Amino acid sequence: MAELTVPRQTRAVVAMKAETTSGTDVFAGTYTAGDVLLVDPESIRLTIDPGETPIRAPGQLGRLPSAMSVTTARLDFAMPVRGRGSAYSASVKPEISVPLRACGLAETVDTTLNAEKVTYQPTNTDETVTIYLVLDVPGGAAPAYQLVGCLGTVSFTARAAGLLRAEFSFVGVLEERADITYVAGNVNATPRWPTLVSANFQIGAANYAPRISTISLALNNALQPVQAINAARGVAGVTRIDRDPRVTIDPEADREANSGWWAALRDGSPLHDLTWQVGSAQYNRVKFAFGAGATPESSVQVVAQGLGVRDGLVVFPTTLLCTLPSANGDLKITFD
């Protein structure tokens, strides 16, 4: 049987694995189906820094050949988020476990019987990953962009009755583009993806629960390539130099007596506690809380609010800064 050898977008895969040594390709040219992430292929974007330095010809218009030094690349992609549908353990973790850890979120697995959970909280320690972006070209080997020493940042977004979507952006050293063996990911249709309904959204001591259409949490890690003259690409790797986590919501306009929005924006206080969740079934729900304590802490601050219209309704687009009540205690994401 004959076919056109076309590189289909839908067959592109992203494989990721934590590195043993930062900046060293942990795959060594071979990855497995278990390393492939559940990525929406239409969301994949690769941006390469060509490191071009133009050279001018003396007394001439135009250019001499440029100096080239391909060093780093940025890879963006999105994943739908769900639980595992069964008790969590050291070997049963959320599908986004590896990318979350590479975004500066420390992972803790609690195996208490019938209450198993996996929690992610910010850390100052980096865990780098190797990433392969592999393109399927039928009839032979597959071209693969190979990035090492990668770190990232993530934004979670969900709309009422919609999926929770994690949008990742990774930066790493672009080691090479090589032809390797193509391996598709595993097909796991269960559990079904939870949606943003019955979210138990609450903000503030009075448990104010405005009607909201869309909510997002952006970790806003600042990623910086580390230059090094002895490195093969002139870059030793990537580090995080800051994070600035923020939540955005679009609550319907309400009386100040109910919301207290204006006073909180004007004064920068009070700080509020904030919680919500996606999904309700055990082992297939994700809970967001701010402050690292066992109970929600008053730690989010209203830092921006505007006036807008959503579906014909007047809304107050609002940005909340996730502050630190304690070291690395600005937020907590729990799969339980």
Decide the pairing of beta strands 63-67 and 53-56.
antiparallel
pLDDT higher than 70, residue 294:
no
Residue 290's pLDDT is 92
- What would the mean pLDDT of 63-84 be, rounded to a whole number? 94
- What would the mean pLDDT of 241-253 be, rounded to a whole number? 97
pLDDT digits (tens, 9 = 90+) for 95-115: 999 999 999 999 999 999 999
Task: Give dist(CA 141, CA 216) in Å, integer.
Answer: 39
Residues 6+ away with beta carbon under 8 Å from 123:
104, 105, 106, 328
Residue 2's pLDDT is 74
Alpha carbon separation from 68 to 23, 47, 52, 53, 143 (Å, rounded): 21, 16, 5, 6, 22
Nearest to 49 by CA among 182, 222, 227, 178: 227
pLDDT digits (tens, 9 = 90+) for 186-223: 999 999 999 999 999 999 877 788 899 999 999 999 99
- Stated as kind and residue range, the H or E segment containing 35 is none
pLDDT digits (tens, 9 = 90+) for 130-147: 999 999 998 889 999 999
**Amino acid sitting at position 108:** T
Mean pLDDT, the chain, integer = 94
Nearest to 317 by CA among 248, 218, 236, 235: 248
